[in-house]
Amino acid sequence: MRTTNRRNFLRAGAAASIAGAIAPALAMPSGAADDKASASGPAAQGVTRTLARYIVGARYEDLPANVRKEGTRTLLNWIGVAVGGSHHETVDRAVAALAPFSGPAQASLLGRRDRFDIMNAAFVNGVSSHIFDFDDTHLKTIIHPAGPVASAILALSEYHPVSGKDFLNALVLGIETECRIGNAVYPNHYDVGWHITGTAGVFGAAAAAGKLLGLSEQQMVWALGLAASQPVGLRESFGSMNKSFNPGRAASNGLFAALLASKNYTSSEGMIEAKRGWANTISTKQDYRQITEGLGQRYEAALNTYKPFACGIVIHPAIDAAIQLRNENRLTADQIARIDLKVHPLVLELTGKKTPQIGLEGKFSVYHSVAVAIIEGAAGEKQYSDRAVRDPQVIALRDRVSAIVDPSVKPEQVDMTITLKDGRTLHKHIEHAIGSVEVPMTDQQLEAKFTDLADAVLPAAQVRKLIETCWQVERLPNAAAIAKAGVLQK
Amino acid sequence: MRTTNRRNFLRAGAAASIAGAIAPALAMPSGAADDKASASGPAAQGVTRTLARYIVGARYEDLPANVRKEGTRTLLNWIGVAVGGSHHETVDRAVAALAPFSGPAQASLLGRRDRFDIMNAAFVNGVSSHIFDFDDTHLKTIIHPAGPVASAILALSEYHPVSGKDFLNALVLGIETECRIGNAVYPNHYDVGWHITGTAGVFGAAAAAGKLLGLSEQQMVWALGLAASQPVGLRESFGSMNKSFNPGRAASNGLFAALLASKNYTSSEGMIEAKRGWANTISTKQDYRQITEGLGQRYEAALNTYKPFACGIVIHPAIDAAIQLRNENRLTADQIARIDLKVHPLVLELTGKKTPQIGLEGKFSVYHSVAVAIIEGAAGEKQYSDRAVRDPQVIALRDRVSAIVDPSVKPEQVDMTITLKDGRTLHKHIEHAIGSVEVPMTDQQLEAKFTDLADAVLPAAQVRKLIETCWQVERLPNAAAIAKAGVLQK
């Protein structure tokens, strides 16, 4: 099984050259213990520098094959969601606000004709990619890794030519940076109210952009320090356009930090771990080993996941069960007498809306989600439109869905029984939904998701070519080809 | 092969992740009662909206005369320090980094020939104005109020024409916004590590820019929300170029927020006070009355102070005493046998350096400061140059300065006795140093400080004209005249 292989690879995988290069920094004595440092983090010195040294030294050739593959899948998924979101009114308003102030037309806005300077382009593409809450997820931290990182380097790649290999390496290193920093402070940092994608994401964007700019180790320390000075986003903004703002601004802030550092604009040493540094200021938990241990040996970037369904992850098991039973039995709605679910308590707490009236409310209804998945065989953005939640056939089936809480059902599980009008019953137990680490989306499923999102924006032939360009990233002589393939032609 | 450890780890992670992953899609009800609110803050509803309503409605005509006057003095002082710092290598590096990406040449960089788009210009002017740590101070919070606010609206005024009256009104309202928000969270927020000028300053910049852009009340709520999403700056950055970065980035972030809001880019309601809003996320103290009470009646902007001396405020009483005794007695160094100080403990803790070697170290030496003030009658940026700390005459007098801690001496006090070689003794007790709220710098002293800073950058006649333009701000038909008067001519 594919996931088993991947796990073995992760455990066995070791990039000797990188490990050797960073060993001196990791061996750095902890010295005077920080009086606020976490009990779990023995060393509060040299964290920023160790990370910077790793980023500066890490080569594409050091990446294990599974990490390259997952990085490529991350890129594909991100381009798809960014193109898909690119004509939402959120993006229209951002573009209207910034157009009078943009610099030279250096970089593409995915899915659009406009071109902005690289920092404004990074912002807009970051916004587009988070519109549908349909981007990638690092499950250990709930960081959406690609938004800040890919937005920054996609724009930069159009100004500062780099190979596809270097682009992919920077993408992985940026994701590694943000997810490791996220691990160091999660969950406390998230629980108190920070939108961790925006706060940790700035580091990822700075690291990836700094890597492509060829920063020295010292410059990378400064870039990370300037990134630490610009955290973005509060959870309170969720439900407004401000949520998509956060990965976009994390991208442009990180790029800003890297560009300043490239001209020797300084910051302090140890901005992540110092007494009054980022981690102590912004979190009550600081586990610095999450940042420095196993660099080049274990990859958070290999743990990235992609949502198959355009709604909160808590109802993904139910949708997965519905689609599997539908496809295995060629079910139609008129065959079904009733659908009974046994769910984890969170499902009804968060998505217990019985009669959603608009598309967005459908995302908070396990009843709608199951019904529309049975009828349409999918739960993408189209299945959460106003059209979908008002479809009489969907409503009729929705009213036949029942859900009860079963304390033995785990959050990643569901138990579904469909009773047919002819008296038969169909049963499905989901242990891990599609899109989880355990049951990842296949490449084909990622392509289908991409196409479903992008075909409303770009011509079908261009969508196909864009998908191919993403898959071929490692062979591109100039990574700017990705951005150029993703825009509306004049 | 799956190990038990790994499975458990993933499962535990998944449980937490699922709850978090769905939360992003939840639209948190706005203005809900805050279960984390401070005991001192009775209302945790409507804070952001109350503030927004005030900012949108407040007119220039409503400002008391003393507030207009203090706002004008704030402007004058800020222009002086920004021009003075504008050719520091910190600014050169920022300009070099950003020039390739700037938009149209919409706005001036004070003291320079370059012109940038308004957001990049706001950033650079904010950096310039904080270079010497010589800008204004709101003593209740240690916020340097003008940096974020004036930088944002000076740039905006060159793109979006406004009268001098409206400019001054916006400056006051921006300062009011940032200082009131600072009051609500100080000192806890500062103590934990935030550079409060950058975190509260974003709100001030957004409020002032939004006021000039004519935002509606709802748009102002959004602008403040987008500002809340972009706090800038950690105290750990002090001592590097990152410190000056913070007011600059606060300015550009606040302007960014206001511009987006002007095109109806939304945020949530109550981003300052909500359960997961700014104050609860970023501080353990939330006293919302500081924000909402007495709006339009009492003005934090009237409490602004200006440093007469280019060093930490803790040694200002000693410098003040030295200059007063010098001037009253026409003292020269060769008359002096010894100088004895009784000081508050902080003076020696923070500025007890006996033998500074470079200019910057002089700022941390009460001995150098007193000696150079006696000899040169000032303690401006020139008195903290490498030249000044290495001057043999200064060193000789410095070695005759003694300081002892006296617990009865308050931080704002000093007791100085000068023993002359002829046996006479001179004595001075300072209750409040010049530059405090109690003993403000006179207009003439502000002008002298301005001239001392600006005459190294601009021709003398232009410096004089720039000072006059600042004093005349209320009579300017177009406030863009200020920025235009402050640049190097081609």
Other CB atoms closer than 10 Å to residue A371's CB: what's the count? 29
For residue A192, the chain B residues in CB contact (below 8 A) are 276, 280-281
A101 and B93 in contact by Cβ < 8 A? Answer: no
- Are residues A324 and A254 part of one domain? no
First to last CA, chain B: 71
Q: Does B219 score more than 60 pLDDT?
A: yes
Q: How far is A173 from chain B (nearest CA, A)?
A: 22
Q: Best interface-test mutation with B: which of A236, A307, A408 has the largest number of B CBs within 10 A?
A: A236
Q: Quick check: B43 pLDDT over 80?
A: no
In this predicted structure, what is the pLDDT of residue A251? Answer: 99
Does residue B295 belong to any structural domain of this protein? yes
Q: What average pLDDT does range B99-109 have in this prediction?
A: 98
- Report if residue A447 sits inside a domain: no
B292-344 residue pLDDT tens: 999 999 999 999 999 999 998 899 999 999 999 999 999 999 999 999 999 99
Q: Is residue A471 part of a domain?
A: no
Cα–Cα distance for residue pair A285/A273, rounded to 1 Å? 12
CA B181 vs CA A58, B48, B279: distances in Å: 43, 10, 9
CA distance B224 to A313: 31
pLDDT score, position B360:
85
Partners of residue B405 on adjacent β-strands: B343
**Domain boundary residue among A379, A414, A430?**
A430
For residue A44, what pLDDT is reported? 75
Q: Quick one: which of B323, B331, B307, B326 has its CA closest to B452?
A: B307
What is the pLDDT, as a whole number, of residue A22? 38
- Has residue B34 got a pLDDT over 60? no
State both tokens at B117: 């788009």
Tokens matching residue B334: 């060769």
Question: Nearest Cβ partner of B97 from A98, A260, A268?
Answer: A260
Residue B17 pLDDT greater than 60, yes or no: no
In a domain, B351, yes or no: yes
The answer on pLDDT for B446 being more than 80 is yes
Task: Tell me whether residue B30 is in a domain.
Answer: no
Helix or strand run (H / E) with residue A278: helix A278-282
- On chain B, the residues whose CB falls within 8 A of the CB of A243 are 24
Asked if residue A344 and residue A286 are part of one domain, the reply reads no
Is A233 near chain B, with CB under 8 Å? yes
Question: Higher model confidence: residue A385 or residue B10?
Answer: A385
Domain count for chain A: 2
A234 contacts B228? CB cut-off 8 A: yes
Could you tell me if B220 and B317 lie in one domain?
Answer: no
Q: How far is CA A280 from the centre of its chain?
A: 25
Query: Could you tell me if residue A444 is inside a domain?
Result: no
Does the CB of A351 have a partner CB in chain B at under 8 Å? yes
Q: Looking at residue A7, what is its pLDDT?
A: 33
Please count the residue pairs, one from chain A and one from chain B, whose beta carbons lie less than 8 angstroms apart: 267
Same domain as B352, residue B271? no
Question: Is the pLDDT assigned to residue B37 strictly greater than 50?
Answer: no
Instruction: Please indicate, yes or no, whether residues B332 and B299 belong to a single structural domain of this protein.
Output: no
Contacts of A8 in chain B (CB under 8 A): 1
Read off the CATH number of the domain in which B319 is found: 3.30.1330.120
ipTM: 0.89
In terms of CA atoms, which chain B residue is nearest residue A9? B1
Whether B88 and B201 share a structural domain: yes
Contact A238 B21 (CB under 8 A): no
Low-confidence stretches of chain A (pLDDT beneath 50): 1-43
Residue B290 sits in a domain whose CATH number is 1.10.4100.10
The answer on pLDDT for B396 being more than 70 is: yes
Percent of all residues in chain B with a pLDDT value above 90, rounded to a whole number: 88
- The answer to whether residue B284 neighbours chain A at the CB level (below 8 Å) is no
Measured between CB atoms, which of A265, A267, A281 is closest to B192? A281
Residue B136 domain-assigned?
Answer: yes
| Domain C-terminal end among A430, A456, A484 | A430
Among the ranges given (A370-374, A426-430, B248-252, B354-358), the one the predictor scored with the smallest mean pLDDT: B354-358
* Cβ separation B93–A437 shorter than 8 A: no
pLDDT digits (tens, 9 = 90+) for A97-137: 999 999 999 999 999 999 999 999 999 999 999 999 899 99
Q: A234–B277: do the CB atoms touch at under 8 Å? A: yes
A64/A42 Cα distance (integer angstroms): 29
Q: Which of B21, B97, B249 is opposite residue A142, by nearest beta carbon?
A: B21
Same domain, A345 and A271: no
Q: CA angle, B478 as apex, B475 and B482 as ends, to 5°?
A: 85
Instruction: Render pLDDT for B51-96 as a digit per residue (tens, 0 to 9).
Output: 999 999 999 999 999 999 999 999 999 999 999 999 999 999 999 9
On whether both A341 and A202 belong to a single domain, the answer is no
Do B112 and B260 have their domain in common? Answer: yes
**A429 token code pair:** 């137990």
pLDDT of residue B79: 98
Q: Are residues A330 and A353 in the same domain?
A: yes
Which of A407-421, B266-280, B347-361 is least confident?
B347-361
pLDDT of residue A490: 72
Residue A460 touches partner B, C-beta closer than 8 Å: no
Last residue within a domain, chosen from A376, A400, A430: A430
Residues B71 and B176 in one domain: yes
Mean pLDDT of the region B452-465: 97
* Residues A389 and A278 placed together within one structural domain of the fold: no
Range(s) of the domain holding residue A202: 2-306
- In-domain check, residue B445: no
In this structure, are residues A347 and A314 in contact, taking their beta carbons and an 8 Å threshold? Answer: yes
